[in-house]
Structure 1
Amino acid sequence: MRCIFVMDIYNSKVVHAVRGERSRYRSINTFSRVVSTPDPIEIIEILAPKEVYVADLNRLSGSGDNLKTIERISSKAITMADIGISTLSDLSLLPEPTTPVLGTETASLDLISDASDLRDIVVSIDMKHRKVISHSGLLDPLELIKEMNDLDLLGIILLELDRVGTSAGVDIEFLSSAVASSDHPVLVGGGVRGLSDVHALEEIGVHGVLVATAVHSRAMPIEMIQL
């Protein structure tokens, strides 16, 4: 099971994300029990994760970017990044070897299809209250997963924003249906409490988990993100 360490970066600092409510995010060092700095490069050097998922909150909110920081991170760990890609030209903002994450919050379905023909990408199905956040309206996630089966993707992230940072647990019944619907590797983000959730997800065929809160609260051993 891949345990991918998440860093939400705003103004060059890692913040603690809760329920996708970006206005309420606070510096990670005010919450974390494993690091005392919000500096993303220092955190990478302290925790030494094998894989990292970065969300550039400045780009996602239209207020600058953290692209240089993401480039430095990608030299130290396998990196995928959501920078709010909304056009094909945005793909070039993330040079190799960083994998672009195209989230449904900012990328249209047509863009996802076109981008998958040009570059290896991961798609993030961004959800709140089990509905997909999309310019196309509120979509059913299972139907969207099936629509993407014909695309050439590295994987699909099921990101439940209303569970992010809450340690609320995961919905095994829903995620079992999602795995059964997908021809791509499925990654899960939001609500992962610790090892028990990781093992349960592995049993239903989930390929990997995105974790941050469980690591910072010591609910999950740091070694899990280093494997």
Structure 2
Amino acid sequence: MKIVPVLDIKGGVAVHAFKGKREEYAPLTTWYCPSPNPVEVARFLRDLYSLDEVYLADLDAIEGKEPNIDLYRRLRGLGIKVMVDAGVERLEDALNLSRHVDRVVAATETLRSFDELRKIASELGPDRVVASIDVKGGRLLARNLDLSSPLEAARRVKGAGLGEALLICLDDVGTLRGVDLKLTREILEATGLRLLVGGGVRGLDDLVKLSGIGVQGVLVGTAIHRGLLRPEDLKRVGHLVSD
């Protein structure tokens, strides 16, 4: 199972995400880094956890501002791969973003259509693109898609030619109350997608449960930042967290 730490960026600094209430996000505090500077946070994650990839939610870009391209470059300069959600709506956005990141996230929250997702997957190739199935209140979070079912969205992702997707339950982000195993299992069984699950991870028990139902990776923010998942914890279950 792949463990990917999460960095949420707003106003150029790392912030603590909580239930998708972006207007309330405060600068990130962690047990391992004295600063919310995302480059410093990423450096500590690399050195302490030996993790080589981060999921970066560029909240400024998602809300319509310019992407933090210089930040992406600086993170890559640390030898860290960056998977970035920068509010991609259409193919042109994905192509522009792909010049500066390792993997482009095409999220249902902002995606213009599943036709656009097909174009993005075809143009960049499935290894450079990962769809994000965003869920809020049990329904698909989507500004432009005429669709409310996360399961149906997962089927459309598969139909667009992608084999991997993120499943992010925004109501659980930052809460440490556990992951949505029921929805995760439904999507796995119905689609066979390789899933990276985010939102609500509390610690090792959740990793074990997710691994047990066939999840390929986990996005972890708060549990790492607050020290509930320490480097020694991941080493102790190395067979779970290796690629």
TM-score (norm 1): 0.93
- Residue 85 in structure 1 maps to residue 88 in structure 2: yes
User: Partner of 1:128 in structure 2?
Assistant: 136
User: Partner of 1:66 in structure 2?
Assistant: 68
Listed as ranges, the gaps of 5+ residues in structure 1 are none
Structure 1 residue 168: deviation in Å? 1.1
Structure 1 residue 154: deviation in Å? 5.1
Within 5 Å, give how 1:156-175 maps onto structure 2: 156-175=165-184
User: Partner of 2:32 in structure 1?
Assistant: 34
Instruction: Give the Cα separation in 2 of the matches to 1:10 and 1:42.
Output: 15
Structure 1 residue 205: deviation in Å? 0.2
Instruction: Give the Cα separation in 2 of the matches to 1:55 and 1:154.
Output: 21
User: Partner of 1:111 in structure 2?
Assistant: 116
Structure 1 residue 15: deviation in Å? 0.4
Structure 1 residue 137: deviation in Å? 3.8
Structure 1 residue 97: deviation in Å? 5.1
RMSD of equivalent CA atoms = 1.8
Which piece of structure 1 moves more, 128-137 or 211-220? 128-137
**Per-residue displacement from partner, 1:20-79 (whole Å, max 9, x unpaired)?**
1110000002xx222211111111111203220001111111233311101221332122
Instruction: Give the Cα separation in 2 of the matches to 1:138 and 1:16.
Output: 29
TM-score (norm 2): 0.87
Do the aligned partners of residues 140 and 170 (structure 1) sit closer, same or farther apart at CA in structure 2, a change above 3 Å counting? same
Q: Which has the higher contact order (CA 8 A, sep 6+)?
A: 1
Q: Report % sequence identity.
A: 34
Within 5 Å, give how 1:1-227 maps onto structure 2: 1-29=1-29, 32-48=30-46, 49-75=51-77, 76-91=79-94, 92-95=96-99, 98-107=102-111, 108-119=113-124, 120-134=128-142, 135-153=144-162, 155-222=164-231, 224=234
Aligned pairs, how many? 225
* Structure 2 counterpart SS, 1:44: helix
**Per-residue displacement from partner, 1:84-142 (whole Å, max 9, x unpaired)?**
01121112233165100000010122211111111131000111012111112452111
In structure 2, what residue type is equivalent to 1:122?
A: V
